[in-house]
Amino acid sequence: MRKRIALSLVTVWVALTFTFLLVRQMPGDVLHNLAIQILNTQGVTYQQAREMAKLQICYDPDEPIMSQYVHYLSNLAHGELGRSTTYRIPVVTILKSALPWTVFITFMAAGFSFVVGTTLGLWTAWRRGGWLEPALTLYATLTQAIPDFLLGVMLLLVFGVRLQWLPLRGAYGADTDPGLNFAFVASLLQHAILPVMAFSIPAIGSWALTAKASATSVLGEDYLLVARAKGLKPWRILRDYLGRNAMLPLISSLATSLGALLGGSMLIETLFGFPGLGYFLAQSIGTRDYPLMQGLFLLSTLAIVTGNLLAEILSRRLDPRSK
């Protein structure tokens, strides 16, 4: 197990370096535009304007890549991620304020769609014939064909505008103030319904299909026959024999997908005005805010690697065969 953790640390380091280089090579030179701005208003030489601009965005792209990289790593060691060029405040504060929102939405949406999806999948596999299976395939195809940005707007239109049931934007009502009071929590949940729905409608379909596929392969096993021969009650067969074995691959893919989700989904968060990691990633890419972008990518890399690690551990712990 230690070897596995060491391996993932190496992966994080490689991914980090790779992202560092990539972000630096991205086209569109922020410094140049800032320098031009200063040039127009201050009437200084281009070189001086560039120096001034450098001070404004608190990192120096002209510095050779290697020293920048070493500089970046040493900062990272102290947990210092630099200042965001657009918001002028330390990246760490932005991440700290954005992470809880993304975690809140992702876990609720992923949890909800996983539970509903897998139960549906197992049930369809268990009831092999009947109308349930084609209905599920149709549902999964329909919901996954619609791109999620379109689904989001449609939900907004139907529930927010036409039926006026759900608020249209933001993470919580402006009139409630954050704290553990009932009003805030109620408005928080009310605001969360639309993003979670936009998130889980296609996810339920995909989990159901995967669960059905995994359950079908388990149904072919002999111990299912033995279980029925033993005269066990149907729900126990479904839970202990079909469920436990079918869930193994699903649990580890859930852990992996959770890691990926923590990167925050840019589309859903920008659409519903949810200040999560995805929202700030979209902003930082738009304005080429390198430090913030770097910090966000770092966070999503860590999330994905921990997700994969968790998947490995979970599948080892749950599946006795691999012990």
| 31 close to 54: Cβ distance less than 8 angstroms | yes
**Among residues 103, 116, 275, 310, the one that binds other proteins under rule CB under 8 A:** 275
* 135 makes contact with other proteins (CB under 8 A): no
Instruction: Count other Cβ atoms within 10 Å, centred on residue 108.
Output: 17
- Shortest Cβ 217–other proteins spacing (Å): 8
| 105 close to 276: Cβ distance less than 8 angstroms | yes
User: Is 87 strand, coil or helix?
Assistant: coil
Which H or E element spans position 125?
A: helix 91-126
* 107 makes contact with other proteins (CB under 8 A): no
| Residues 51-70, interacting with other proteins (CB under 8 A) | 51-52, 55-56
> In angstroms, how far is CA 140 from the centroid of its own chain?
21
Apex CA 188: angle with CA 184 and CA 189, to 5°?
Answer: 125
Nearer residue to other proteins within complex by CB, 79 or 129: 129
**Among residues 76, 103, 185, 285, the one that binds other proteins under rule CB under 8 A:** 285
Reference 83, options 313, 246, 291; nearest CA is 291
Nearer residue to other proteins within complex by CB, 115 or 158: 158
Beta-bridged to residue 83, according to DSSP, are 90
Q: State both tokens at 20.
A: 């560092």
Nearer residue to other proteins within complex by CB, 107 or 223: 223
* 227 makes contact with other proteins (CB under 8 A): yes
- Return all residues near 69 (Cβ < 8 A) that are at least 6 apart: 17, 20
* 12 makes contact with other proteins (CB under 8 A): yes
Nearer residue to other proteins within complex by CB, 67 or 147: 147
Apex CA 26: angle with CA 20 and CA 30, to 5°?
Answer: 105
* 30 makes contact with other proteins (CB under 8 A): yes
| Residues 151-180, interacting with other proteins (CB under 8 A) | 153-154, 156-157, 160-161, 164, 168-172, 174, 177-178
Nearer residue to other proteins within complex by CB, 156 or 185: 156
Quote the longest CA-to-CA distance of the chain: 90
| Residues 235-254, interacting with other proteins (CB under 8 A) | 236, 240-241, 244-245, 248-249, 252-253
How far is Cα 207 from Cα 133, in angstroms, rounded to an integer? 14
**Among residues 145, 183, 186, 189, the one that binds other proteins under rule CB under 8 A:** 145
* 138 makes contact with other proteins (CB under 8 A): yes
Nearer residue to other proteins within complex by CB, 109 or 284: 284
Number of residues in contact with other proteins under rule CB under 8 A: 126
